[in-house]
């Protein structure tokens, strides 16, 4: 049985955002779901790197129960678009898209590394974090950030890219997360909604072609 981890953040009155109830889903590293209400943000996550499809339904149900909210109250769905591997990332994107379509509410795409950077920058432990994530095949997903803008949103100094481990040169601000915090994605979406900032394009950041591809057309046989 997969162990679930529950994290709850109570909001101060000044932190309340008039954006309703947000559901957030990310499966780039393990699986993470959060529900944000004006009173709290509850995140439920699993570190299992393979069973995304099996656990995502339980994570969503548990997050709503812990937050004291219902799917009918949800005003938008925040979806982590990566970077991440094809096999895991597509599960969260499919779940978020299906939920938003079924409820007839907006889908709000956010880069997962941005949530990691937000937590680090607000903690003040690193001034210019660089988020690194295992991409397998001796490669890494890498995104570098410069700090927070006036809306409290992390600003990239280098866009997400694929880097070979052999070419990695360590930097003082390197961060190696064990998962993408869906609760931080809720906070990022709130800040973008309140400030009128644009969301990420609605497409996954695989950064490489998936292993399984559509077969090409058969070659014509000459006679």
- Which two structure tokens, joined as six digits, stand for 52? 């995304």
Q: What's the pLDDT score for residue 19?
A: 82
- Residue 70's CB is within 10 A of a number of other CB atoms, namely 11
User: Which residue, chain included where needed, has tokens 């982590």?
Assistant: 80
Predicted local confidence at residue 12, as pLDDT: 54
Q: 24 has which bridge partners?
A: 34, 78
**Mean pLDDT, all residues of the chain:** 88
Contact 182, 119 (CB under 8 A): no
User: What's the pLDDT at 1?
Assistant: 42
pLDDT class of 207 with cuts at 50, 70, 90: confident
In the three-class reduction of DSSP (H, G, I as helix; E, B as strand; rest coil), residue 211 is classed as: coil
Separation between Cα atoms, residue 23 and residue 41, nearest integer Å: 10
Give me the mean pLDDT over the 86-91 stretch.
88
CA 202, CA 114: separation in Å to the nearest integer? Answer: 15
Number of residues written out for the chain = 223
What dihedral do alpha carbons 20, 25, 26, 32 form, nearest 10°? 100
Percentage of the chain beyond pLDDT 90 is: 74
List CB contacts of 13: < 8 A, sequence separation 6 or more. none
pLDDT score recorded for residue 73: 96
Closest by CA position to 31, among listed 60, 11, 10: 60
Q: How confident is the model at residue 15 (pLDDT cuts 50, 70, 90)?
A: low
Q: What is the pLDDT of residue 50?
A: 67
| pLDDT confidence of residue 157 | 95
Q: What is the pLDDT of residue 71?
A: 97
Listed in sequence order, the residues at least 6 apart from 28 whose beta carbon sits closer than 8 Å to its beta carbon are 80, 82, 83, 84, 85, 88, 89, 92, 112, 133, 180
Q: What's the average model confidence in pLDDT over 154-179?
A: 95
For the stretch 32-85, pLDDT in tens is 999 999 889 999 998 776 677 778 999 999 999 999 999 999 999 999 999 999
**Secondary structure tally for the chain: helices H, strands E:** 4, 10
Q: What is the model's pLDDT at position 16?
A: 52
Ranking 15-24, 122-131, 174-183, 190-199 by mean pLDDT, the lowest is 15-24
- Helices 182-195, 112-123: axis angle to 10 degrees equals 90
């Amino acid at each position: 049985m997969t162990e679930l981890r529950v994290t709850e953040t109570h909001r101060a009155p000044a932190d309340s955002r008039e954006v309703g109830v947000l559901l957030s889903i990310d499966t780039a590293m393990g699986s993470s779901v959060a529900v944000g209400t004006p009173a709290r943000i509850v995140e439920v996550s699993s570190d299992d790197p393979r069973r995304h499809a099996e656990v995502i339904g339980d994570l969503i149900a548990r997050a709503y129960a812990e937050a004291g909210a219902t799917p009918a109250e949800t005003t938008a769905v925040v979806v982590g678009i990566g970077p991440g591997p094809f096999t895991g990332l597509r599960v969260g994107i499919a779940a978020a898209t299906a939920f938003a379509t079924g409820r007839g509410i907006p889908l709000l795409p956010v880069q997962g590394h941005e949530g990691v950077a937000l937590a680090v920058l607000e903690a003040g432990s690193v001034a210019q974090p660089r988020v690194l994530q295992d991409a397998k095949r001796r490669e890494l997903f890498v995104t570098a950030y410069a700090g927070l803008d006036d809306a409290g949103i992390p600003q990239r100094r280098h866009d997400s890219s694929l880097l070979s481990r052999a070419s990695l040169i360590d930097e003082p601000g390197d961060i190696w997360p064990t998962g993408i915090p869906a609760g931080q994605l809720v906070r990022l979406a709130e800040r973008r909604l309140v400030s009128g900032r644009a969301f990420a394009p609605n497409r996954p950041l695989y950064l490489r072609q998936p292993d399984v591809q559509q077969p090409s057309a058969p070659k014509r046989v000459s006679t």
